[in-house]
Amino acid sequence: MSENPPNGPQYGSNPDPERPDPGRVEPPDRGSTPPPPNYPPAGGPPPGNYPPPPGNYPPAGGYPPPGNYPPPPGNYGPSGYGGGAPTTVSVGDAISFGWNKFKNNAGVWIGIVLIAAVIQIVVNLIFGGFNTSDDFSDAFGVWRVVGALVGAVVGYLINAALVRGALHEVDGTKPAIGSFFQFANVVAIVLASIIVGIVVTIGLILLIIPGVILAFLTWWTLQFVVDRNEDAITAIKSSFRAISTNAGQLFLLALALVGINILGAIPCGLGLLVTIPITMIASTYAYRIVTGGRPV
């Protein structure tokens, strides 16, 4: 006995797959859930402004938000100086820093000062420490001129070596004897020293005071040459600008350091073995502070 199929949509196969059966309904997919109404269209969230999620987030417009933020921890040298108010240098802090660094590495500093003194004595003996007759007076005069030039160049390089050692101390590294000679820009050192010497000499001839001012403003020329590898003219200009930012306090420091070295020279010059390192480190400490660095 056959039964008639029920009326309504039919489930099953379509006898003619080429022709869709309008009365056939596909069975639902049991493993999926229909999307909720008003679901966002493909391509992203619907237009509109939405509040940020809870929490502290940077404001719209990018990261970081506007404002001045401190640098990360560590010793970071400045990209320049003069970009803001100059940092004040304390005379007492500079001298105390120089003394503490010296006493923690006294043997090396006394040794380098003794080496410098011996080198200068040997140069003087070679070029001027012997007698000559009148027959050789002209040749001897030329020899002494050559000796004066050699002695000056040696003196410039010794000053640069002391600056290099002081920079090591200021940056937190105890220098060994060899560390004092870690510089390669010899031409810039010599040229800058010659220019400064000529300028200061001319200033001293002009009623002394201009020479003192020029000597003070060019005080850090070798620091800029050795530390930043600047050429002679640039280093002189940099010294002028840096010292001018805090001239009053730095002038007091310069007077104090000169006085310390005068006291060091009183006991037959032996005190200079101590005062020269202290004053060199103290002046380089001030250089690092004014140019935005952080002595260690």
Structure tokens at 239: 């010294």
Rounded to 5 degrees, what angle do the CA atoms 140, 145, 146 make?
95
Question: Which of 215 and 1 is assigned the larger pLDDT?
Answer: 215
| DSSP state at residue 24 | B
Q: What is the pLDDT of residue 142?
A: 83
> Does the structure show a pLDDT above 70 at 291?
yes
> Does the structure show a pLDDT above 50 at 9?
no
pLDDT in tens, 86-105: 478 899 999 999 999 999 99
| DSSP state at residue 250 | H
Q: Which residues pair with 10 in a beta bridge?
A: 24
Lowest mean per-residue pLDDT among 68-72, 84-88, 137-141, 278-282: 68-72
Question: Which of 146 and 197 is assigned the larger pLDDT?
Answer: 197
- Domain boundaries defined on the chain: 91-290
CA quadruple 127, 132, 134, 135: dihedral sign:
negative
The CA distance from 175 to 110, in Å, is: 12
> Does the structure show a pLDDT above 90 at 20?
no
Q: What is the pLDDT of residue 74?
A: 37
Q: What is the pLDDT of residue 99?
A: 97
pLDDT in tens, 29-64: 555 555 555 555 555 555 556 565 555 554 454 444
Question: Which of 281 and 207 is assigned the larger pLDDT?
Answer: 281
Full DSSP string of 183-207: ---HHHHHHHHHHHHHHHHHHHHTT
Q: Which residue is listed with tokens 């020269």?
A: 276
CA distances from 184 to 157, 180, 181, 199, 239 (A): 11, 12, 8, 25, 20
Q: What is the mean pLDDT of residues 131-153?
A: 73
pLDDT in tens, 225-279: 999 999 999 999 999 999 999 999 999 999 999 999 999 999 888 999 999 999 9
CA quadruple 62, 65, 67, 72: dihedral sign:
negative
The CA distance from 50 to 160, in Å, is: 63
> Does the structure show a pLDDT above 80 at 190?
yes
